[in-house]
Amino acid sequence: MERKEGYVKVPGGRVWYSLLGEENKEKTPLIVLHGGPGNTHDPLQAALHVLADERPVVFYDQLGSGNSDRPTDDALWKTERFVQELADIREALGLDHVHILGHSWGTMLAAAYLVDRKPAGVQSVIFSSPCLSAERWKQDADRFLAELPKEVQETISRHEEQGTTDSKEYQDAMKVYYSRHVCRLDPLPAVMVESRSKGNKDIYMKMWGPSEFCPTGNLKTFDYTPKLHEIEIPSLFICGRYDEAAPESTQYYQSLVPNAKFHVFENSSHLAYLEEPEAYRKTVRAFLEKADRTSK
């Protein structure tokens, strides 16, 4: 499998990318948008690199994280700049026709790109564990928090009220939630542990907040549900049964996109691509294969 790596100049700096399977030119490339904001491509590539046995697959670290440049200008951390970044990467790599797979924050980025830019050549989109309404996400999170042990709930609410979310006590309480709704594997996959140090907490705090269930950043008003009907390409919405991107919400988003498909991974939470990798890859492959046929 051929691998090509390099950098693309985007607003604010250079973004690192990895292109796998470039030799498989007969099928439309897939570009993968990682979560966060401020996470890295590594966990997704660990699970999905094998898709490059039949088509080119592009992974990249969004500006500020991973192998990409790490500027410190807070003004860079806004959805519109990340949308432009995606457009620049497509242009630089000559991705005239492409499939998009976004995970978590990557689904917010994908929706903004598709709705606001109406880009040509996007043949399909996969919304993996989507957050397309921050308010709805918070409502689901509050419901999940209410199911945690009482002392954990009290610890979380106390530190959020006091503004001490960087304390060890809050971080430990947070892990209880994460072990139920983010990744249910114990121990965590090595790639998750290793990639953590390559992420950028400043971006996460600026755009989202101190934890998955406490949106305080500039994404806290994000809501593309009124615009999802504008997405007219083949679309797939997937999540885990125990996902913080609740199945009920994921199915609601799917209902707003014409002819979109929906699938739940029964033994997963937010990281189904690591929790049920074979089932995840099979689902993605089948969807892309069908999208390839219908776009010809």
Residue-number span of the structural domain to which 105 is assigned:
3-135+188-295
Would 149 be classed as within a structural domain? Answer: no
> For the domain that residue 9 is a member of, what is the CATH number?
3.40.50.1820
pTM reported for the whole predicted model = 0.97
Would 37 be classed as within a structural domain? Answer: yes
Would 144 be classed as within a structural domain? Answer: no
Q: Name the DSSP letter for residue 235.
A: E
Q: What pLDDT shows up at residue 84?
A: 98
Would 179 be classed as within a structural domain? Answer: no
- How does residue 296 score in pLDDT terms, banded at 50, 70 and 90? low
Would 154 be classed as within a structural domain? Answer: no
How do residues 42-58 score in pLDDT, each as one tens digit? 999 999 999 999 999 99
Strands (E), the chain: 3-10, 13-20, 30-33, 57-60, 98-103, 122-128, 235-240, 261-265
For the annotated catalytic residues, the residue numbers are 104, 243, 270
Instruction: Give percent above pLDDT 70 in the chain.
Output: 100
How much helix, strand and coil, in percent to the nearest 5, is found in the chain?
A: 45, 20, 40
From the list 66, 76, 105, 80, the residue with the least C-alpha distance to 215 is 105
Would 130 be classed as within a structural domain? Answer: yes
Query: Angle at the Cα of 19 (from 14 to 20), degrees rounded to 5?
Result: 160
Would 159 be classed as within a structural domain? Answer: no
What whole-number distance in Å separates Cα of residue 128 and Cα of residue 144? 19
**Secondary structure of residue 7 in the 3-state scheme:** strand
From the list 78, 43, 86, the residue with the least C-alpha distance to 62 is 86
What whole-number distance in Å separates Cα of residue 42 and Cα of residue 61? 9
> What's the domain count of the chain?
1
How do residues 16-42 score in pLDDT, each as one tens digit? 999 999 999 899 999 999 999 999 999
Q: What pLDDT shows up at residue 144?
A: 97
